[in-house]
A and B are shown apart, each in its own frame.
Chain A
Amino acid sequence: MPRRDTVYRIVCAAVFILMEVAAFTLVGGSGRLQSTWILRAANSVRGALWGVGENIGRYISLGRENKNLSEENIRLHMALMAGMEEEDRQKADSLAEAVNGYGCFNLSPANIVKMSRNSQHNYIILDKGSEDGIQEQSGIITPYGVVGIVNAVGKHFCYGISFLNKDLSVSARLGRDGIAGPLEWKGTDTRTALLKDIPMHYEVTPGDTVWTSGYSDLFPAGIPLGTAGEVNTVGGTSHQVTVSLFQDFYALRTVIIATNTGRDEIHELEKREGRR
């Protein structure tokens, strides 16, 4: 009985569809407006059906597409890595060229492997070690400033104290021929340092460039560090100049390790004269 009902329903539906089609044909044949409209609707339906077919085809081929995309992704990733390595190498070479001519300093480009910026005692790890001729107590610089000092050397890597470290000070000079004093990181943000111990009689012009003085055996003289800003008197005995650093520590990727080739001789002399 239920099967008979189902068959009957199917027959009813079929008859209904046939009659509706006949009615639509009549309407389509009598009215031009309706004829165009029905044609347009039929085209839309056909388009939708083709679209569905196309989508199904695409869905079926998704696996193959995914595989192709993965392979292409790997290929592009490798090309990108190669490009980045080349770019780093070129940047390091250009950096070395830029600071070339620092007398008895041996310059070696290095990439930053790790660097902290958010503590009061920040550090830096570079991808050059003793096998690359790096020694302890070498300066880490860029054409825009001092980055730190190499403190420990491994076979392939070296560990340095960052300039962003309260324990580090660099001898700096106000202007090319100005007065020198220790430059220390202010400790608050990565772009500000303090040039201390400037005598009261010395007139500081805000906007003057601050350079490395070359008074230590760590850094070559004449590396631009930043510009002089606000001047404060400390304890009524000296000035303290706020320096806006050129080097953006957040943008650092490559540096130069400057090793003083005459350092042993300097130390020998100091030792002989009882200064060390």
Chain B
Amino acid sequence: MKRNFALTYIILLVLQVMICNYLHVTPYLYLCVLPVMVLCIPLKVSTLAVLFIAFGSGLAVDFIADGLPGLNTLALLPVALLRRPIIRGVFGEELISRSEDISAEKHGIQKIIIAFSIVQAIFMLLYVWVDNAGSRPFWFCAARFGVSTLAGILVSLALTRLLTEGVHDRWS
């Protein structure tokens, strides 16, 4: 069954806003699927466009959810910029040159985990760093980074099917 990626993306964005607003389990945990959503945007979409999508998505979450405005945006933008190099490094040049999309079935779950881990780590590193702004001890920041990154990867893996399969050519 073919799915519209844009619709999936918007649904996940709404889900993310809800998570931000209602999921307050512990100060160590910030659950976020935005980096994986950006990573899974079809490869035919240019980097410039992805930058704008990331900027818009980040701002949407920042303003709708009760967080610090701009925080998600600034952490998400490097993921958007580095998306292609990360995909090239993990999945190979062929995927880029063919403008194929990421697929767990095609490329294996291991590569998916590696790619998800990288983008989650980049995002969380910036998010935790700026959010704490040097006001918390290092061990707290490290624990928050570890817990949030791990949770983000696990949730993203659960959404893998939704994000990576049968989504060719359906952005817009």
A interface, CB within 8 angstroms of B: 8, 11-13, 15-16, 19-20, 22-31, 33-34, 36-38, 40
Contact = CB atoms under 8 A, between A and B. Distances in A.
Given A29-B69, A30-B70, 4 more contacts: A8-B48, A12-B51, A12-B81, A23-B73
A24 B74 contact: yes
A31 B51 contact: no
B165 interface: no
Interface stretch (B24-32, B103-111, B127-135): B127-135
A20 B52 CA distance: 11
A31 B68 CA distance: 7
Contacts of B52: 15
B68 A30 contact: yes
5 A-B pairs with least C-beta separation:
A26-B70, A23-B74, A37-B133, A27-B70, A23-B73
Contacts of A37: 130, 133-135
A31 B131 CA distance: 9
Given A26-B62, A34-B130, A19 B55 contact: yes
A33 B73 contact: no
Q: Which secondary structure dominates chain B's binding surface?
A: helix
Contacts of B134: 37, 40
Nearest to B58: A23
Given A27-B130, A31-B133, A34-B130, A19 B70 contact: no
A16 B77 contact: yes
Contacts of B68: 27, 30-31, 34
Interface of B: 47-48, 51-52, 55, 58, 62, 68-71, 73-74, 77-78, 80-81, 130, 133-135
A35 B13 CA distance: 27
A19 B51 contact: yes
5 contacts: A20-B77, A23-B58, A27-B71, A27-B74, A30-B70
A20 to B, nearest CB: 5
A22 B68 CA distance: 14
A24 B70 CA distance: 7
A8 B71 CA distance: 27
Contacts of A25: 70
B141 to A, nearest CB: 13
Nearest to A40: B134
A41 to B, nearest CB: 9
Max chain B Cβ within 10 angstroms of own Cβ: one of A22, A26, A30, A38: A26
Nearest to B70: A26
A29 B58 CA distance: 16
A38 B78 CA distance: 18
A22 B52 CA distance: 13
A19 B47 contact: no
A28 B80 CA distance: 22
Contact of B73 (A8, A11, A26): A26
Contacts of A19: 51, 55, 73, 77
A12 B74 contact: no
A36 B133 CA distance: 9
A90 to B, nearest CB: 64
Nearest to A30: B69
A23 B134 CA distance: 18
Contacts of A38: 133
A26 B80 CA distance: 19
A34 B58 CA distance: 18
